[in-house]
Chain A
Amino acid sequence: MNLFAWLRGRVPSYSAQLRLFLLPYLLGTGVLVGLPALFTLGMAFTEFNGVARPQWDGLANFQRLFESPVVRLSLRNSLIFLLTAVPLRLLAALCLALLLQKRERLFGFYRAAVYLPTVIPEAAYALLWLWIFNPFYGPLNMALGWLGLPAPDWLGDPTTAIMAIVLMSCFQIGEGFVVLLAGLQNIPRALYEAATVDGANQWQAFWRITLPLIFPWMLLLTVRDIVMSLQNTFAPTYILTYGGPYYATTFVPLLVYEIAFDLFDFGLAAALMVLAFLVLGWLIFGLVNAVGGWRRHDD
């Protein structure tokens, strides 16, 4: 098991060997992530159909983006999704982590159950929800009818379609759930004991100890969820609605895919990606700033 046996003549030093260990990872990431990301940035300013040489085009792509109503709609939809799904998912993950953190029998089962939907493959998960949302004989509307509630045409109605996509994303929160569980576990018990001695109740302990200490994790999850919303909506919308009805679920990733792989306008698609990234960056910057200000104020 000596990777360097063939180099017997001049065995690299130990630290050179360690650097070699990093090589596959750095090379792979550079070629398959770094390079394409840079290309996207560069091609946003060119006209490029995927075959011919890219032609420098200045800001023409961005101008076309601003003039397109579909682009505006997709940005609006993505923002609506972001502003509802991200907070809901974070809140759900936090509540579940708080509720299920006990080290007792059965709680292991509860935690596994909550994580389970996260491992379901996207394609299967989307088909499953297509069935659940079926307006006539899907289980969801059956249940609503049984409770005497109105049964909407979930994916057929522009106002509910986007909420349906948000709803199904709220069941795949295993990642955030696990991270927050781990964060909760790393809070020293002694802090709670001290608080009890000082006469604090559970509510005060939560606000003064738990929340501040897992706050960095929550911020990290929020930032990651915001960024990942740029890819997570692709499979559900591709399979469930393909952007419809009336563009109600046309989110940025689906539109980027259509522009690039149906219309072969890679330059425009890259520009849309860059634009979406700028909006997200601005959002994240604002969020981190606001939170930083609030934290300083709180101390």
Chain B
Amino acid sequence: MMIKQRLPRLLHHLLALGISLLFLLPLYWMFVSSLREPGLPPPRTIEWWPTDAHWSNYPELFTLLPMARYLRNSLLVVAAAVPLTLLTASLAGFGLSQLPDRPRRRVINWSVLFLLIPASAVWLFRFQILRWLGLIDSLWALILPAFTASSPLFVLLYFWSFRRVPGELIEAARLDGAEAGTAWWRVGLPLVRPTTVAVSVLTFVLYWSDFISPVLYIYQARWYTLPIGLQLVKQLDATNWPLLLSAAAIMTLPVTMLFFVLQRTFLSEQSLGQLFDRS
């Protein structure tokens, strides 16, 4: 009887475990292969652990290419774009949650429409607009999309969250003479912290990974970001796999760490339910 009940549960766990390992496997391979000694003949079987871990591939990258500069550029972009996105998205979301029905509906409809415009439809003439503004070959070309809240989705996420804030709280603040800015900062934002965490993580990933924008808008080597740096490592020697994968690992490490630190807030049942419970 006990076995009959336990067996399906065990199978369920085993299946889930197998799938998780399948999704983690590519990352693990990247890490293991990045530690191989460059120049050695490639392995004949799958290596589960390098026989002689070669950590020097990592510092080697920084001497071969100005990786430190690319890293700094990438960090600058993220450091500017994430707060700007949070500001734009949360202000707009708060405004939406408080506005009367008609203007709100209009903005939401437009946002959903914009959600369906792929970046590629915008490339060609965003390039022209950035050129007219004199922003080609500057980090601003990469940061500026933060003023679109990076994605209408983030505005909608904030809107759904602010709508769950009890109206009386904001009413009370207003009776105390608070203006909209105060109500947003003092009452609204502290109550939607899970949303802020989720939007921060997603925005960080978006700008840290951004490959297309620097390809399109950056031509001077001094403004290259890490994704372009990766391309350069590949152009340097496309067969030096340990070095290539070390570069990939350097790019992946920050997002992976951020994700694991914050996934509790980000993927937890409560915050998921809240984000999408639109009742």
Q: Do A99 and B129 touch across chains, with their CB atoms under 8 A apart?
A: no
Say if the beta carbon of B59 comes within 8 Å of chain A. no
Say if the beta carbon of A261 comes within 8 Å of chain B. yes
Q: What separation, in Å, do the CA atoms of A120 and B227 have in the docked complex?
A: 11
Nearest residue in B to A109 (C-beta to C-beta)?
A: B20
Across-interface contacts of B231 in A (CB, < 8 A): 123, 239
A:1-47 near B, CB below 8 Å: 1-4, 11, 14-15, 17-22, 24-29, 31-37, 39-40, 43
Q: Do A28 and B88 touch across chains, with their CB atoms under 8 A apart?
A: yes
Across-interface contacts of A27 in B (CB, < 8 A): 147
- What is the count of residue pairs linking A and B with beta-carbon distances less than 8 angstroms? 291
Nearest chain B CB to A133 CB, angstrom units: 11
Main secondary structure on chain B at its contact with chain A? helix
Q: Which interface residue of B119, B123, B124, B185 has the most chain A CB atoms within 10 A?
A: B124
Q: Do A182 and B275 touch across chains, with their CB atoms under 8 A apart?
A: yes
Say if the beta carbon of B33 comes within 8 Å of chain A. yes
Interface size classification for chain B: 35 or more
Say if the beta carbon of B49 comes within 8 Å of chain A. no
Nearest residue in B to A129 (C-beta to C-beta)?
A: B26
- Which of B50-58, B60-68, B266-274 faces chain A? B266-274
Nearest chain B CB to A192 CB, angstrom units: 16
Q: Do A131 and B33 touch across chains, with their CB atoms under 8 A apart?
A: yes
Q: What separation, in Å, do the CA atoms of A213 and B227 have in the docked complex?
A: 40
A116-B23, A119-B255 known; A131 vs B118 contact (CB < 8 Å): no
A43-B125, A143-B46 known; A22 vs B92 contact (CB < 8 Å): yes
Nearest residue in A to B41 (C-beta to C-beta)?
A: A137
Say if the beta carbon of B163 comes within 8 Å of chain A. no
Across-interface contacts of A183 in B (CB, < 8 A): 276
Nearest chain B CB to A32 CB, angstrom units: 5
Q: What separation, in Å, do the CA atoms of A230 and B124 have in the docked complex?
A: 14
- Which of A152-160, A204-212, A221-229 faces chain B? A221-229
Q: What separation, in Å, do the CA atoms of A278 and B276 have in the docked complex?
A: 31
Q: Do B123 and A256 touch across chains, with their CB atoms under 8 A apart?
A: yes
Nearest residue in B to A236 (C-beta to C-beta)?
A: B211
